[in-house]
């Protein structure tokens, strides 16, 4: 990703129209804050980059179709593998855009 363009897996380029902060309400009711989120209107799904989480110090483990993302000993997200397109989804997540939140760490 560079200069306002996101490169897709099929080498297509999609324009990043804005960068902001969102609140994500997780399956357990806890609200997490994600910063530096790129809005790419051409994408049909919300995606979370594991490589970005890894660069921020988060760990992830995949076992028996379950993805656990943790910060230290705290599991901050859980995903389940779906047979369609082999993607991991985070069930019961409520994405709400909040463009003017103060700066936080990637996940809080």
Percent over 90 (pLDDT), the chain: 17
Q: Give the range among 1-5, 14-18, 45-49 with minimum mean pLDDT.
A: 1-5
| pLDDT number for residue 108 | 38
User: For 36-80, what is each residue's pLDDT tens digit?
Assistant: 788 888 888 778 888 888 988 999 999 999 999 998 998 888 888
Helix (H, G, I), strand (E, B) or coil at 16: coil
Closest CA to 32 of 73, 86, 81, 69: 69
Contacts of 6 (CB under 8 A, 6+ apart): 13, 14, 15, 16, 38, 40, 43
User: pTM for the whole thing?
Assistant: 0.68
């Amino acid at each position: 990703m560079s200069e306002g363009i996101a490169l897709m897996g099929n080498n297509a380029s999609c324009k990043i129209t804005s960068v902001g902060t969102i609140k994500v309400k997780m399956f357990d009711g806890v609200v997490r804050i994600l910063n530096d989120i790129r809005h790419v209107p051409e994408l049909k799904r919300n995606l979370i980059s594991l490589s970005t989480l890894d660069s921020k110090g988060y760990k992830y483990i995949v076992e028996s179709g379950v993805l656990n993302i943790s910060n230290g000993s705290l599991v901050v997200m859980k995903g389940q593998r779906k047979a369609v397109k082999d993607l991991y989804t985070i069930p019961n997540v409520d994405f709400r855009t909040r463009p003017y939140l103060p700066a936080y760490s990637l996940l809080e």
